[in-house]
Amino acid sequence: MSEGVLITGDQNPLHLPAKKATDDTQWRSLDVGAEADYFLLEVGSESEAYRIIGLVRQKLLPAVYLKPLILINRGGDVSKSLQDQVDFVISSQQLEQQLPAKLLDEVESINRRIDALQEQRLKADTNIALRVVRYLYSRDREVEPVASIQNRGGYTFTGIESLFGGHDQSIWQTLDFLNSQHLVQTRFVTRTHQCASCGCAFLNFKETCPQCESEELDADDLIHHFRCGYTAELSDFRQDDRLVCPKCDQTLRHIGVDYDKPSMMYHCRSCDHRFQEPEIVTTCFDCHRTAPPENQIHRNIEAYKLSMLGVNAALYGLDSLFASILERRLQLLPLDVFERFIAVEKARIGRYKVSHSSLLLLDIKGLEEIYLTLGERTSEVYEELANLFYAMLRSSDLISSRNESMFLMLLTETSPDDAKIVEGRLSSGVGELLKASLGASPEIISQIVNVDNALDLTEYLESFLSEHHAE
Amino acid sequence: MLNDTWDFITGLSAAQLISYFWPFFLFDLTRYVVFDVLILTLYLPRRKRNKQRRAEARKLLFHEKPLVSVIVPGKNEGKHIPRLAESLTRQTYKKLEIVIVDDGSDDDTEIICRKLHRDGKIDQYVRNEVRGGKASAANTALYYSTGKYVIHLDADSELRYDSIETILLPFYMDANIAAVGGDIRVANLSQTMATRTQAIEYFKGISTGRTVSSMLGILRIIAGAYGAFRRDTLDRLGGWDVGPGLDGDITMKIRKLGLKVVHEPHAVCYTNVPTSFRKLARQRFRWDRSMVRFRARKHVDVLMPTSNFRLSNFIATVENLFYNLFLNFKWWFYVAQVIFFYGALLQHIIVVNYVLYTLANLAEFLVATVLLRKTLRKQDLLLFLYLPLMPLYTGLYLRIVRTYAYIMEFIHKASYADRWNPWKVSRVVKKDGL
């Protein structure tokens, strides 16, 4: 039986004695509810709801900020934006009976994913990118852009908005960063024009005179009277509320039958110029900069969903740039998939007893700090490292990573002795490359394990980590 | 056989000569040779005497320097416009406003013209997304042009360097002149046999024919390809009415206002004509039908003794109907007469007619040469080699096309079904009997 924590706002709290309740004050001071299954939100207004959702989503522990949120609707409509920010909306009647089984299933599925973070779920997350990655992982869905006049970019991502403290620009920056690291996959949704100088999507598109740039234009349709061939602007035909041909005095009856409008003409009130193709300019509502549309930014608006690398990052921390380069170059596998391959390989070797495969572990100490030394050149060094890995491994080998600097390689049909050769070459190659770039050799720890029935990858990694990363 | 024919000719009495060859002697020789020669013997000295007046008119023109709008309506004519715009920059008269109206082109016309407009090579480009026909395009151009004089020009024509100056002079010699027709010459005359025969025909019909009509005050057409109009007159008329044949129509309407229309043989415009007899037939089919539609129907009122009656208009229409319509059917009557009554002499009559008409053509060509001598080019003069083909061309080919066109228009009002106008327009004007 799942159990939730009820959070009430200031006004009209619902009394639900069956639930463990906490009020706003308690909630602010304590990380209560880390062990609860969900939070029930019972508030008097939408603004109250946003405030409390913000409080939850900005908590530090994944076990708290990722928690499923269920909003109790006490009647009336719940805005789409609010619906997007909570996981479920239920009516107070539903709450008095029993929560629907389907909802509980979904709550459980979110919680299963939170549990997969293991001990990390109770360690504070301060990195906003990692928090987004973990949120996307726990919800296992795409976050979609929603058009919004509140957001100067014209779009917001209501699904993850509450993770950010209302700084909408940082949502874009974070998603751009995740995309650049290949932690998310994108799907094209639409395109916007944004101000090239301030990024604001609210641009005023205006027609102007190509001769004097004035915006004070009149536009008039040209009328062609079929009967007599007379052609002039609409205003010449106007007589009271009728259209009368100035040439033959006939009243125009139906467009398409006795007359049509073959084109339109603009007239500049400022310089008297007549033209058919006005210049289009855009002015930013925010910074007031004016530019032709082609000089503004055309931005693709996309929906985001975690990539395999993103899933790995959610489970084991944010992968480094290196990992993303490796993923691209070597098809770095998520660790759980790698574990599955190890299990298959173990079973295959155990059954046929004819071949050997080896697991090679390479731990490059301090690799994550390389950025501090090399700055923007880091990616070049990573590319070189990736090339080195690529050159040493065969297409039948598999590679995964445990964190930014620890790499696991399954060398199929390779005895531990042969694996030693690969290990030697890889260690010295990596060592030399990093020495040449950083000026000092990093500490490289490598181990080779025979893949057989005795190997338990999780256990092995834990013992390795406790031995070498005790601090 | 030729000896037989010679004997046949020498044996003819005057009465026989007339009865065998009456169409030639009574109509064609008198109207197209004798008449032309007589009138031109009057015209040429008069033109010489007018030299001083022309010089004064020129002074007035260049003193006033009115803005002249060159309007070019058309569909899918973009390819011709750069050349046309370029040729207009070489004119001796410079104060021009070039207005191009694109009547729903579906080719690159818009791209070409917008660029020319941006580059300042043309002054106004109006694009009508929906085709409305020549009249509406010309009227659109008229509406957006501002010049005191309006020159209507076909896109595929080219003007002689002094042409605009020359076509404007009559306005400064006689305040009653409201429209001046330019002299249309064939630009692509050396291209095919069809273009050569048309070139000769243009010399005779337009250069000489219209100069003579103009002298007599019975000019009934200012060519659409090149004509100059006073804006106030065009505004009074509300521009052009729906064609085909809108150029003849507007000329008639100007005449009805009591204003003069004249032809200026030295205002030269070179235009491209149909290159095959098949295409030419289509063009003439359209032109000839409009003769029936406008002279015999729309403007038939000039023949009536109303308060608006003018002898010159009466004669202009009667002459047109008589020489084109009546004599055309007369010719078939003559053919029947020869076959049924003089069947035995058929071959002699054909040969003699052929020789007579070739000689007449030669005479007409000489007249044109004298009239146009200043503006003729070498290739124009070489056309005399093709004169022997003309009896076949005018006597047979054009007559057949014309007869067919007249019959179709009289019986079926075929001009209303012409794709030259969009159907939406033809439908309305046919219903209203315009």
Distance CA B385, CA A293 (A): 64
Structurally, chain B folds into a number of domains equal to 2
pLDDT at site B72: 95
Q: How distant, in Å, are the alpha carbons of A30, A39, A430 from that of A15?
A: 21, 15, 63
B283 in any annotated domain: no
CB A227 within 8 A of CB A250: yes
Interchain proximity A230–B139, CB inside 8 Å? yes
Interchain proximity A262–B239, CB inside 8 Å? no
CB B399 within 8 A of CB B240: no
Cβ count near B92 (within 10 Å): 13
- B242 to chain A, closest Cα gap in Å: 5
Region of A264 please: left (phi>0), alpha (psi -120 to 50) or beta. beta
Shared domain check, B79 and B167 = yes
B282 in any annotated domain: no
Q: Does B430 touch chain A (CB under 8 A)?
A: no
B284 is written with which tokens?
């003439």
CATH of span A1-123 = 3.40.50
B96 in any annotated domain: yes
Spell out the residues 6+ positions from residue A259 whose beta carbon is closer than 8 angstroms to its own: A223, A224, A225, A226, A243, A252
Distance CA A154, CA A299 (A): 11
Q: Does B432 touch chain A (CB under 8 A)?
A: yes
B383 is written with which tokens?
């056309």
Residue B208 has pLDDT above 60, yes or no: yes
ipTM of the complex: 0.82
- B135 to chain A, closest Cα gap in Å: 6
- Give the tens place of pLDDT for each residue, B78-130: 999 999 999 899 999 999 999 999 999 999 999 999 999 989 999 999 999 88
B153 in any annotated domain: yes
Please spell the DSSP secondary structure of B58-111, one letter per residue: HHHHHHH---EEEEEEESS-GGGHHHHHHHHHT-S---EEEEEEEES--STHHH
pLDDT at site B230: 97
Shared domain check, B151 and B270 = yes
Spell out the residues 6+ positions from residue B279 whose beta carbon is closer than 8 angstroms to its own: B194
Angle between helices B35-49 and B51-64 (to 10 degrees): 60
C-alpha dihedral (B397, B399, B405, B411), degrees to nearest 10 = -140
Q: Can you point out the beta strands (E) in B84-192?
A: 96-103, 124-128, 149-153, 157-159, 177-186
Q: Does B140 touch chain A (CB under 8 A)?
A: yes
Q: Does B139 touch chain A (CB under 8 A)?
A: yes
| Chain A positions in Cβ-Cβ contact with residue B246 (cut-off 8 Å) | 229
Distance CA A170, CA B262 (A): 79
- Give the tens place of pLDDT for each residue, B245-288: 788 889 989 998 999 999 999 999 999 899 999 999 888 888 88
B418 in any annotated domain: yes
CATH of residue B207's domain is: 3.90.550.10
B293 in any annotated domain: no
Shared domain check, B119 and B36 = no
Interchain proximity B238–A265, CB inside 8 Å? no
- Give the tens place of pLDDT for each residue, A102-142: 888 898 999 999 988 877 777 777 778 888 999 999 998 89
Distance CA B267, CA B261 (A): 15
| Chain A positions in Cβ-Cβ contact with residue B111 (cut-off 8 Å) | none
Chain A residue with the nearest C-alpha to that of B422: A226
Q: Whole-number mean pLDDT of chain A? A: 82
pLDDT at site B414: 67
Task: For residue B180, report the phi and psi dihedrals to the nearest 5 degrees.
Answer: -130, 130
- Long-range CB contacts for residues B116-119, cutoff 8 Å, separation at least 24: B116/B81, B116/B82, B116/B85
- B225 to chain A, closest Cα gap in Å: 19
B292 in any annotated domain: no
Shared domain check, B195 and B63 = yes
Please spell the DSSP secondary structure of A111-144, one letter per residue: HHHHHTTGGGGGS----HHHHHHHHHHHHTS-B-
Find the CB nearest A227 among B137, B240, B432.
B432
The mean per-residue pLDDT over the stretch B206-226 comes to 87
Shared domain check, B204 and B149 = yes
Interchain proximity A233–B143, CB inside 8 Å? yes
Domain housing B356 = 2-41+307-426
Domain boundaries, chain A: 1-123, 210-277, 319-468
Distance CA B85, CA B120 (A): 10
Provide the residue type at B373 as one letter: R
Shared domain check, B26 and B101 = no
Distance CA B194, CA B278 (A): 9
- Give the tens place of pLDDT for each residue, A285-337: 999 999 999 888 888 999 999 987 788 788 877 655 566 666 777 778 888 88
User: Which of the four CATH numbers 3.20.20.140, 3.30.70.270, 3.10.450.350, 2.60.40.2550 does domain A319-468 have?
Assistant: 3.30.70.270
Distance CA B196, CA B189 (A): 5
Please spell the DSSP secondary structure of B311-334, one letter per residue: HHHHHHHHHHIIIIIIHHHHHHHH
pLDDT at site B161: 93
